[in-house]
Every structure is written in C-alpha cells, then in structure tokens.
Structure 1
Amino acid sequence: MDLRRAVAATVLVCAAVAYGAGPASAVPEQVEGTAETRDPSEIALERQVHERELALTAMFDAAERHAEVEGVRADRLAALGYTGNLPDLEHVLPIHDYHLSAGFGLTGPLWESIHTGADFGATTGTSLVAVADGTVTEVAYAGSYGNRTIFTLEDGTELWYCHQLTPLASAGARLEIGEPIGLVGSTGNSTGPHLHFEVRPGGGAPIDPIAWLRSLGLDP
C-alpha cells in the first residue's frame, strides 16, 4: 500500500470513529429497486473522507513538485561549483573562471569617466548567470556598454551585465539563481572579453559591486 492510500485509510478509520460509525454490516445500505435508503450520517461521513483524501492527494502532489524544483535548483548550483545546502543558497557570483581586471571608481583613458562597475576578465563564451532570483527587465545594445542585460532582483536592485557576446534571456523572463543570462564577450567600448558588472540599488546610482557581493557572503 503506498503512502497516499495508507494515509487515506487512516483518515477513513479516524473519521468513522469520530462520527460513531459501526461495522459495515450495521450500516443500512441502499437496496436497488426498493425504497430503502442509506443512513444520511454515513453519506456525510463518506463525503468528508473523500474530501480529505483529495486534500491529501493535492498536498502530496505539491510536495513532489517542490522536491523536483529543489532538485533541479541544487543540480544547477552544483554544476557551478557550489556545495553545502544548495536549496537554501540565495546568492552566487555572476561568473566563474574569471580574474578581476578592473575595480570600481577607477579613472583613466580606458573609460569615458569614472569606472562604474567591476570587470571580470574571462574567455569569450563563458557563462553569465543570475546572482539571485529576479526578472530580466531590459536586453539591448547600449552603446559603450555593448550588449547589456539589466536584471532586477526582488528588492529592486538592478544588476547590469555588459559587453556580452550574446544575451541568453529575454526581457520579461523570470530567472532563478544560477540560471544563464548571457555569454562573455567584448562588444561596445571594450579592450577584451570580460563582464562589466554594475550594481544599482533601486535602479539608482551605481555602488561598488565587489563590496556588494561580499556583503552577501560571496568572495569574488
């Protein structure tokens, strides 16, 4: 007997006891072709048991779906090199297999003004992923930023993934932590393949991405 049937059988027994139902032989049954009818309390009991069984089935189905989703999430994060209690992991780095090539706030001939992000140098085609759960709010070519994806977290923080070879997620897409956003490239104002990563709380002015990532417990 599977778990659902076992629980349903238990509910039936408990309900029978709670409602004072006697043995099956003591409950009047409807006899086809006669005026004899079943006890209304028995009908009510069976209806309640049936409703509870449906509720239990829905609960088990929901639990199974949740387990499948958590399994996919854990597999995805494990493939990125993360370990531990993966279903509870809330943040990851936007890229792996990289080297930091430029920090926040730098000035010089490589930038039109102050550097507003952090640069992660990497091989062309390296995957870029969602730092956390959120929504893609813009995908477009953005001048000096090249191919840019703006990914907005649930708290309103905008993350800019710039200079992509190609974006992999469309505007309006809902992404979970670790899902692909695009591929490292060198489009726009760029001297080589890298991710220019910006963090803009509430869509406002940029802040230091490295300090922000560290505040989340990450180690870029």
Structure 2
Amino acid sequence: MLHRAGAVVAATAAALVLGAPSAHAAPEVAVREDGRQLRAIELARQVAERQQELAALNRRADAHDRALIGRKELLARYGYRGDPDAVRVVLPMASYDLSAGFGLTGPLWEAEHGGQDFSAGAGEPLVAVAGGVVTEVAYAGPYGLRTILELPDGTEVWYCHQTDVTVAAGQQVEVADVVGSVGSTGNSTGPHLHLEVRPAGGSPVDPMDWLRAAGLTP
C-alpha cells in the first residue's frame, strides 16, 4: 500500500511540474491549465490581428510611395524637384519660351507691361502655380479670357489670353491642378500666357522675381 501511495504522489507532482493535469490532479490545477490555454489562444489571436494590421500598413505605404513617385515626376515637369509633400509653388506651364517681360513699354500696351509672357502652342495646359481659390473666370477686355486665382496670403495670380478654362469661380484648386490652356484671346499677337502676380490683389510685381523667390528657375 505504501509503495502504491508513493507512486500516486509522484505522478501528481510530475503532472504539476510538467503543467499537464493528471487523473489525480486537484481541480484547481485543471482550472489553472484551462486559464493558460485561454490566454495562449487570446495571445495568438492578438498576434494574428497585429500581423494583419502591419500588412495593411505596408500595403498603404507602398501605394503612397508609388503615388509620390508619380507626383514627383509631374511636379518636375513644372519646375519643382523637391519633396512632393513640401511643394508650395510651381511654374504655370511645362513647355514655353519666355517673351515680353515685366515693365516693358511700347505700342503693344496701353501702359507698362504688368506681367510676364510665356509663349507656347495653343492648347498647352496651364496649371495652378499654388493652391488657392478661383475668384474669377471671364473675358476681360485686352486680357482676353482670364482666370484669377487667389492664394491663401491674398496674392492674386492672373492667367490671361486663354483659349478655354477647366475651372469655375469659387472652386478650390491644388498646386499643379490644370486651370485652362494657352490661347490668343484679347489683345494678343499670338498664343501665349500673360501671367500677372498681384500681392494682396494690388499692383502687379515681376512674376519672375516672385517665382525665383519660391526657389524656381523659370
């Protein structure tokens, strides 16, 4: 009998050490084992969910990187080669020749030339040099078909002599969004963009100086 009792005690102790319940284990041992199994199952579930979340984050990051690569190439067409997320100002068009500059006088203008001319083929896309709100789209006498874009600091950017437009008054646009296309409406001797920059909506300043101050090279 003593030998048999000793064997039972030894078997029970082994079960406690190994963590596996035996037929002779106390009820509280089985409860602890069930608790460990439940915690292990819950931990495995949490790990699986975390792995799924990380995989989703990686997919979104990859998509963002691909979008940035495309965005970077687009912005480079308009003179900006920095961080796409930091862009503030771009050139108004991708392909052009500089023609009449700011401050010129002569028979072509009633007063000093108040902007910079960018000669290009008719229909060449024009883009927003910065994010802002379109405040006017209308024919404006010698300016022809004109779009006025107001920037957050109150600066007005005028796009003149357009052949058509793709925006409407009151519309919010982002930097490099297409706003219209080159034309020869109004007082014009050929297709070109007459670009004016007017801080606070006042008198015009040299657009070339304004673009260079933004880090661009027209």
Answer yes or no: is the 8 Å Cα contact 2:78–2:93 preserved in 1.
Answer: no
2:132 maps to a residue whose letter is: T
Displacement after TM superposition at 1:196 (Å)? 0.7
1:120 pairs, out of 113, 118, 121, with 118
Give the 3 Å change call, closer, same or farther, for CA 37–153 of structure 1 in structure 2.
farther
> Deviation string for 1:26-64 (max 9, x for gaps)?
699xxxxxx996556446534643553354244224313
Q: Distance in 2 between matches of 1:208 and 1:170?
A: 26
Unaligned runs of 5+ in 2: 1-17, 22-30
The residue aligned with 1:138 is 135
The residue aligned with 1:181 is 179
168-177 or 116-125, which moves further after superposition?
168-177
> Deviation string for 1:131-162 (max 9, x for gaps)?
34x13423511412222222344555332211
- Which protein is bigger by CA-based radius of gyration? 2
TM-score between the two structures when normalised by the length of structure 1: 0.66
**Sequence identity (%):** 50
TM-score between the two structures when normalised by the length of structure 2: 0.66
1:196 pairs, out of 188, 194, 197, with 194
> Deviation string for 1:100-156 (max 9, x for gaps)?
322222334433333221111222222222334x13423511412222222344555
1:101 pairs, out of 99, 102, 120, with 99
Q: Distance in 1 between matches of 2:20 and 2:52?
A: 24
Unaligned runs of 5+ in 1: 1-24, 29-34
Larger proportion of helix? 2
Q: CA RMSD in A?
A: 3.5
Q: Distance in 2 between matches of 1:105 and 1:149?
A: 21
1:53 aligns with 2:61: no
1:180 maps to a residue whose letter is: V
Answer yes or no: is the 8 Å Cα contact 2:127–2:175 preserved in 1.
Answer: no
- Secondary structure of the structure 1 residue equivalent to 2:204: coil
Give the 3 Å change call, closer, same or farther, for CA 27–94 of structure 1 in structure 2.
farther
1:162 pairs, out of 160, 163, 174, with 160
Q: Distance in 1 between matches of 2:183 and 2:114?
A: 18
Give the 3 Å change call, closer, same or farther, for CA 87–163 of structure 1 in structure 2.
same
Displacement after TM superposition at 1:199 (Å)? 1.3
Give the 3 Å change call, closer, same or farther, for CA 26–141 of structure 1 in structure 2.
farther
The residue aligned with 1:92 is 90
Displacement after TM superposition at 1:166 (Å)? 0.8
- Counterpart mapping for 1:65-76 below 5 A: 65-76=63-74
Report the number of matched residues.
187
- Secondary structure of the structure 1 residue equivalent to 2:99: strand
Q: Distance in 1 between matches of 2:194 and 2:92?
A: 10
